[in-house]
Structure 1
């Protein structure tokens, strides 16, 4: 895939109907030869739209007008390039817990949660959020996570969590203003509800800080999993993480996680973790696949806003 087609696909399949600002901007970048040439100077993994747009916003650049975005990006390319090379997309979206909850609630309790690609650990608190699946509300405190669920009944209980830990190459400190600002820069411009949700989840994570370990997902997975308490069901999970991992390294991780006791929940794009016999997705938008122990269960949207169960 060319850089231009990557930005065009992002605009059409990911941003359309969700962020008019990012749809307009990514389509403009797909035809902007000067910005495309600049992006061609950084490693392929650092060219992705969410990363570029997040870095520009983090630096205070404009995203409402493609011409102003072009001028800012060209004029400030050294700082933007440095941000691209040193940062990764760490969209720590608490809303994705709404995708995990139906599976988490079905497993033997209590749970020992281990999140791979945890960022600031906001995904490690599924028991401390509220959930709304249509007219069904679950929970009594924390931000409300809305998810349009089809094909299955909504869960009826919150999980009981006995232990929680996260693994990341660059774990973030939710109490650090710069780290919080980076997470906010990754939220799409129109999504004020997601910014509010991030701040509410940040308060919870700051009050109940989980154990966050800096390390590689293959080197540190087994030692960290070994710390889970006896008597708790180990659940290793990740969401929109493995696309940033080289294919061979990704395969090594999958081999490792399959060897662990307990369960493995993955929410990844179907070209990142492949499954045979997937039904067609609900529409042409980009969907991830929710899977338990390698068995696909549902199509999901990127920020946890919808889930179509097919298992």
Structure 2
């Protein structure tokens, strides 16, 4: 795909109906020859819309006007390029725990959680949050994670977690203001509810900071998994992470994960973790696939706002 088509598709499939600001802006970027030419100067993984938009917002740039965005990008390109080359879209969306919960709650308890691509580790606390699936509510803490669930009954119990760890090439710290600023820059402009629940989740994690290990998802996974306590069900999981990993390393990671004890949960785009004979997605929006041990279970939306169970 060309860079222009990536931005046009982002506008049509990911931002439409979710962020009017980003829909308008990414459509304009797809037609902006000068900004597209600048994006050509960075490696392909660093050209993605969420990364560019997050960097510009981190630097104080405008995203609500395409012309102002163009001017800011041109005049501040050296700073933007520097951030693009060193950062990743570490959107640490606690709302994705609402997608994990039905699977986690059904596994043999207690659990030892190991998240690959953990960012700041906010998805390592599914037992500390509250959930609302339609009219069904579970838990008593903040934040409350709302998820529209179809095709299955909502979970009725929270998991019992006795160990939690995260693996990331560049882990973020909930106690570092600069890392928190980057997490907030990745929240889409109109999503005030996501910003509020991010802050609530950070407050929970700051009281009991997670064990985050800087490392590679293949080279360093076995050593970290070996630290999980005996008697707990090891659960290795990842959500919207593997699209940033080269295809050969994805395959090596999947092959390795199958050799480790316990279970693996994936929530990834179907072109990133492919499955045969998937049913049609609920609509034309961008969806990920929730899977347990390579068995697809449900279509999910990127921020955990909806899940359509088909298994």
Q: Would you call these one fold, judging by a TM-score over 0.5?
A: yes
Secondary structure at 1:7 match in 2: helix
Q: How does 1:31-42 map to 2 (within 5 A)?
A: 31-42=31-42
Q: Distance between the aligned counterparts of 1:196 and 1:22, measured in 2?
A: 19
- How many residues are matched? 311
- Residues 103-142 of structure 1 show CA distances to partners (whole Å, capped at 9, x for unaligned) of 0000000000000000000000000000000000000112
- Residues 281-309 of structure 1 show CA distances to partners (whole Å, capped at 9, x for unaligned) of 00000000000000000000000000000
- Residues 64-110 of structure 1 show CA distances to partners (whole Å, capped at 9, x for unaligned) of 10000000000000000000000000000000000000000000000
Q: How does 1:76-91 map to 2 (within 5 A)?
A: 76-91=76-91
RMSD: 0.3
Q: Distance between the aligned counterparts of 1:149 and 1:204, measured in 2?
A: 25
Q: Distance between the aligned counterparts of 2:51 and 2:210, measured in 1?
A: 26
Q: How does 1:202-217 map to 2 (within 5 A)?
A: 202-217=202-217
Residue 154 of structure 1 and its aligned partner are, at CA, apart by: 0.1
Q: Distance between the aligned counterparts of 2:54 and 2:22, measured in 1?
A: 11
Structure 2 alignment gaps of length 5 or more: none
Q: Distance between the aligned counterparts of 1:259 and 1:126, measured in 2?
A: 25
Counterpart residue number, 2:173: 173
Q: Distance between the aligned counterparts of 1:38 and 1:237, measured in 2?
A: 35
Counterpart residue number, 2:162: 162
Counterpart residue number, 1:246: 246
TM-score (normalizing by structure 1): 1.00
- Residues 201-250 of structure 1 show CA distances to partners (whole Å, capped at 9, x for unaligned) of 00001001111000000011000000000000000000000000000011
Q: Distance between the aligned counterparts of 2:104 and 2:142, measured in 1?
A: 18
Q: How does 1:221-240 map to 2 (within 5 A)?
A: 221-240=221-240
- Residues 241-289 of structure 1 show CA distances to partners (whole Å, capped at 9, x for unaligned) of 0000000011000000011110000000000000011000000000000
Q: Distance between the aligned counterparts of 1:215 and 1:276, measured in 2?
A: 31
Secondary structure at 1:251 match in 2: helix
Structure 1 alignment gaps of length 5 or more: none
Q: Distance between the aligned counterparts of 2:82 and 2:101, measured in 1?
A: 37
